[in-house]
């Protein structure tokens, strides 16, 4: 399918989805969000794809929801259409691993989108923020919840209440991003991580993702039980015996997602 606001490339089991509205710093308008949802659905359905990278430009991952498009809307408009309700779940419905490769601004909805991915690799020029307060609104697709879980109440409150940006170094220190790399190496690092993930058993990757995400939704004892049962269930797979035999035979495992 031809897209106008994103670019999608699938190579070596990795789908790279690049947000592409350079004139607006990749502001998330309804066309882009619709195209992104469609590309994510395609990548989910494509058997060749084993990992997804979501990225933007060197200047902006995304500078937030499109303020021009939002500015004319009334309460009734946004409430009745449940603005961003569907868009917020599109990425959460993806069961395959999704890496956010973030350079430049990841603000408002851009920061929230990155946080909905499974982990964030940040370029050293990345800037994260929830500056919605400057526009007289609060975050709308998870900023108050996910940022708080990622970096704790103190920093989350600070960022939401002052609208200040967090640079890549602070974001890594606070636990928002998994690693920081020189901007010029961002895509190479993300591709290497994606390739590593792609060579594992997809069965196991999906289970890992479910188990980690469960930790945000449940108590520790329920989460531990969920994990243990998943661990037990892996013993019904061929990939479990392949993985363990390969280790014992000192060779690389050939996973078949079975
Ligand atoms: N929406 C629309 N256009 C934008 C946005 C945006 N969020 N951000 C930047 N642009 C446009 C500018 O209007 C400008 O366009 P033009 O050249 O036509 O005037 C162009 O991008 C370049 O921007 P600047 O000239 O401002 O570039 P600077 O380098 O001077 O500044 C900043 C960069 C600091 C990123 C600045 O553009 C800025 O502050 N942007 C707005 C950031 C913001 O407030 N984001 C939060 C938006 S609200 C939100 O995200 C609510 C979340 C709710 C859920 C979202 C679901 C998707």
This model's pTM is above 0.95: yes
Q: In angstroms, rounded to a whole number, what is the distance separating the alpha carbons of residues 175 and 199? A: 26
**How much is the ipTM here?**
0.98
Give the pLDDT score at 109. Answer: 98
Please state, rounded to an integer, the average pLDDT across all residues of the chain: 97
pLDDT band at 1 (very low <50, low <70, confident <90, very high): confident
Q: Atom 20 of ligand 1 has which residue's CA nearest to it?
A: 24
CB atoms within 10 A of CB 248: 7
Please state, in angstroms and rounded to a whole number, the distance separating the CA atoms of residues 86 and 199: 32
Residue 45: pLDDT band with limits 50, 70, 90: very high
Q: What is the atom index within ligand 1 of the atom nearest the CA of 165?
A: 34
In order of start, what are the domains of the chain with their CATH numbers?
6-198 (3.90.226.10), 201-249 (1.10.12.10)
* Each residue's pLDDT tens digit, 63-117: 999 999 999 999 999 999 999 998 888 999 999 999 999 999 999 999 999 999 9
The response to whether residue 92 sits with its C-beta less than 6 Å from ligand 1 reads no
Ligand 1 midpoint to CA 185 (Å): 25
Smallest CA separation from ligand 1 atom 38, residue:
63
C-alpha neighbours within 13 Å on the C-beta side of residue 57: 14
Choice from 25, 30, 66, 131 to test ligand 1 binding pocket (greatest atom count within 8 A of CB)? 25
The reported pLDDT for the residue numbered 157 is 98
Does the beta carbon of 68 sit less than 6 angstroms from any atom of ligand 1? Answer: yes
Contact (CB, 8 A) for 14 and 37: no
């Amino acid at each position: 399918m031809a897209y106008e606001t994103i670019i999608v490339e699938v190579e070596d089991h990795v789908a790279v989805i690049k947000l592409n509205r350079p004139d607006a710093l990749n502001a998330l308008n309804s066309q882009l969000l619709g195209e992104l949802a469609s590309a994510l659905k395609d990548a989910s359905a494509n058997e060749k794809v084993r990992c997804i990278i979501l990225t933007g430009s060197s200047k902006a991952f995304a500078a937030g929801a499109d303020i021009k498009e939002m500015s004319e809307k009334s309460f009734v408009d946004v409430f009745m259409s449940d603005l961003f309700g569907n868009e917020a779940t599109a990425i959460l419905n993806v069961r395959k691993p999704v890496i956010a490769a973030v350079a430049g601004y990841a603000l408002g909805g851009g920061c929230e989108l990155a946080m909905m991915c499974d982990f964030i690799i940040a370029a050293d020029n990345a800037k994260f923020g929830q500056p919605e307060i400057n526009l007289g609104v609060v975050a709308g697709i998870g900023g108050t919840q996910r940022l708080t879980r990622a970096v704790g109440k103190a920093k989350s409150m600070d960022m939401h209440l002052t609208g200040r940006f967090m640079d890549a170094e602070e974001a890594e220190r606070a636990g928002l991003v998994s690693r920081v790399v020189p901007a010029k190496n961002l895509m190479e690092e993300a591709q290497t991580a994606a390739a590593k993930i792609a060579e594992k058993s997809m069965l196991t990757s999906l289970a890992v993702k479910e188990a980690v995400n469960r930790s945000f939704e449940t108590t520790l004892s329920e989460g531990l039980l969920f994990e243990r049962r998943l661990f037990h269930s892996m013993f019904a797979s061929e990939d479990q015996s392949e993985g363990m035999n390969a280790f014992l035979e000192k060779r690389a495992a050939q996973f078949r997602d079975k």
